[in-house]
Amino acid sequence: MVQYNPARSQAYFPGDSPAYSAARFDASFAALSDATRRGILEQLGRADASITDLAEKFQMTLTGMKKHVGILERVGLVTTEKVGRVRICRLGESQLEEEAAWLANYRQLWDARFDELDKVVEELKLKEMSDGHT
Amino acid sequence: MVQYNPARSQAYFPGDSPAYSAARFDASFAALSDATRRGILEQLGRADASITDLAEKFQMTLTGMKKHVGILERVGLVTTEKVGRVRICRLGESQLEEEAAWLANYRQLWDARFDELDKVVEELKLKEMSDGHT
DNA sequence: TTTATACTGAACCACATGGTTCAGTATAAT
DNA sequence: ATTATACTGAACCATGTGGTTCAGTATAAA
């Protein structure tokens, strides 16, 4: 979905390093936006699994599961290896570091924003005290 | 998208509290999976804005922007208030705490999983030393 | 009172998504 | 050599998504 090109030299979020690509975030947040896929990650956190294993666990056709694994694989959350006729799925190298960093950054920004609002409210209160009810 | 009901009493992720609803995560990760929407959050972190402001900044119709704001609003990332004929958008109450917690939890799980693998490799190395090349 | 502004909702569009079935291919087991 | 297993790919389907236009409504400005 990429787009968002607001003709600013600045990046997609305050503090963004060049490594933060919008497309990457689009894809990894989208990958996480499905409960089945989050479940697959959980499962692979416990033990490696074949497509068949996963398809059974999540009550889905092999083809359907293969697609989910493909999506997770494309964003690096899962890696697979074909051994004989079975494809082994394991957790991939992505620890979601940048996504976690983005979230942390957002929460910081959120705090800053609301501290600022608090200050304004504070000032209004002071003003009111000195103005009105003397 | 809800679904994922693998007939287990356990929740959607190890350590999930009842507060973690799959639907909620589906929606908030999906909301974050669009670069424009992440940009809107950034913008509102700097200052409140009207639909018109945002639509201009992101070169989009009012209707289009309204939809994005609606999506962010539904997951609590944005709140809006209509003042006269303009709708003011601000950051909402969601600081993405649970989403951040999920990510942190995943990374922990990931670490545990790979520590375990390291141990296996370690054992194999020891075994090989005592077995083969004596 | 007229006119401009700011939004809103319905309807449409192309394309993505999450799933399926069906027809294969490759590998393992008998 | 035959049969069963495990996947794979193409094609289809219903629904969702990100965007648009068009036709309003409500409010503010002149």
pLDDT digits (tens, 9 = 90+) for B59-96: 999 999 999 999 999 999 999 999 999 999 999 999 99
Sequence ranges of the domains in chain B? 19-94, 96-134
Is B63's CB less than 7 Å from nucleic acid strand D? yes
Query: In degrees rounded to 5, what are phi and psi of residue A26?
Result: -50, -50
Q: What is the mean pLDDT of chain A?
A: 83
In CATH terms, B19-94 corresponds, of 1.10.150.120, 1.10.10.10, 3.40.30.20, 3.50.50.60, to 1.10.10.10
Predicted local confidence at residue B118, as pLDDT: 66
Binding-face residues of A in 62-81 toward B, CB within 8 A: none
pLDDT at B6 over 50: no
Residues of chain A with C-beta less than 8 angstroms from the C-beta of B29: 29-30, 32-33
Closest CA to A89 of A127, A25, A121, A41: A41
**Mean pLDDT score, A90-113:** 94
Is B108's CB less than 7 Å from nucleic acid strand C? no
Closest CA to A101 of B17, B5, B33, B104: B104
- How many Å apart are B6 CA and D6 C1'? 22
Is B36's CB less than 7 Å from nucleic acid strand D? yes
The strand ranges marked E within chain B are 49-50, 78-83, 86-91
Per CATH, the number for A21-94 is 1.10.10.10
Closest Cβ–Cβ partner in A25, A35, A114 for B1: A35
